[in-house]
């Protein structure tokens, strides 16, 4: 009798995993993913991307039509979500168990996500009591690849007068995250939108007593839920 659950010990290269993750992230926003966009995201030349696309296509992780971009197959998506799950679990673990700041976790998780075992994944998952979001409010995919999309809207789209709660920050730049922290913008912080300048101008708001304003671009990376709406 053979051992049954002898799980999946490192089947894909780090490079392959990184490509799949990048494709996943791009396609959830843009549908299908072009070579150039992917190349930009990966910090590589388009030529390198094309070559990898052929490989991923050959091993059935993506559907690839020459000149027309790429989508993950079900198999490819499984792999991508597994890596993203590793990443987000690690981020949360680093915060909770080791006292990392939310600005530091991305870089560390980026490296470790490819190298932890299923055992490790399960243990930190249990230790964190099966969490559903990471320190930036991103959903942690479940073991079987389900990911519940978050409910918030970009702060940039909130109206003046609204009172909202921060539920997600879609940015991993440590500088940006530290800046936001300094303004008191952490997860679950409640803020009141006081003003929106026209022509894509800055958004002004209050957190507690303090008033701040940030640019529209940055505000589009901060996701919020309306406290009234949320209750409904």
Residue with tokens 């049954």, as numbered in its chain: 4
* 8 sits near a copy of itself (criterion: CB under 8 A): no
Residue 50 interacting partner from a copy of itself, DNA, none (CB closer than 5 to 8 Å by kind): DNA
Residue 189 interacting partner from DNA, a copy of itself, none (CB closer than 5 to 8 Å by kind): none
Residue 184: left (phi > 0), alpha (psi -120 to 50), or beta? left
* 128 sits near a copy of itself (criterion: CB under 8 A): no
Residue 98 interacting partner from DNA, a copy of itself, none (CB closer than 5 to 8 Å by kind): a copy of itself
Nearest to 223 by CA among 195, 185, 197: 185
Q: Which residues bind DNA (CB under 7 A)?
A: 13, 15-16, 18, 34-37, 44-55, 64, 66-69
Interatomic CA distance for residues 129 and 178, integer angstroms: 27
Helix/strand/coil for 221: coil
Rg of the chain, C-alpha, whole Å: 20
Interatomic CA distance for residues 135 and 129, integer angstroms: 15
* 120 sits near a copy of itself (criterion: CB under 8 A): yes
Q: How many residues form the binding site for a copy of itself (CB under 8 A)?
A: 19
Residue 209 interacting partner from DNA, a copy of itself, none (CB closer than 5 to 8 Å by kind): none
Q: In angstroms, what is the minimal distance from the CB of 135 to a copy of itself?
A: 16
Beta strands, E only, 29-95: 62-64, 70-72
Query: Site residues (CB under 8 A) for a copy of itself?
Result: 94, 97-100, 104, 107-108, 111-112, 114-117, 119-120, 123-124, 127
């Amino acid at each position: 009798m053979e051992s049954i659950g002898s799980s999946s010990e490192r089947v894909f290269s780090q490079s392959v995993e990184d490509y799949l993750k990048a494709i996943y992230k791009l396609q959830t926003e843009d549908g299908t993913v072009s070579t150039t966009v992917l190349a930009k995201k990966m910090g590589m030349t388009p030529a390198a991307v094309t070559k990898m696309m052929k490989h991923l296509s050959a091993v059935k992780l993506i559907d690839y039509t020459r000149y027309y971009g790429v989508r993950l197959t079900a198999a490819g998506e499984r792999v991508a979500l597994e890596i993203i799950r590793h990443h987000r679990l690690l981020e949360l673990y680093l915060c909770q168990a080791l006292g990392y700041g939310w600005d530091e976790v991305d870089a560390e998780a980026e490296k470790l996500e490819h190298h932890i075992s299923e055992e490790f994944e399960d243990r930190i998952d249990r230790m964190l009591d099966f969490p559903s979001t990471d320190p930036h409010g991103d959903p942690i995919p479940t073991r079987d690849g389900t990911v519940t999309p978050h409910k918030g809207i970009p702060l940039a789209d909130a109206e003046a007068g609204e009172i909202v709660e921060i539920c997600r920050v879609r940015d991993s730049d440590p500088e940006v995250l530290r800046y936001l922290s300094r303004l008191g913008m952490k997860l679950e912080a409640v803020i009141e939108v006081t003003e929106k300048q026209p022509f894509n101008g800055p958004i002004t708001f209050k957190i507690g007593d303090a008033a701040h304003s940030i640019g529209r671009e940055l505000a589009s990376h901060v996701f919020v839920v309306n406290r009234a709406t949320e209750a409904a």
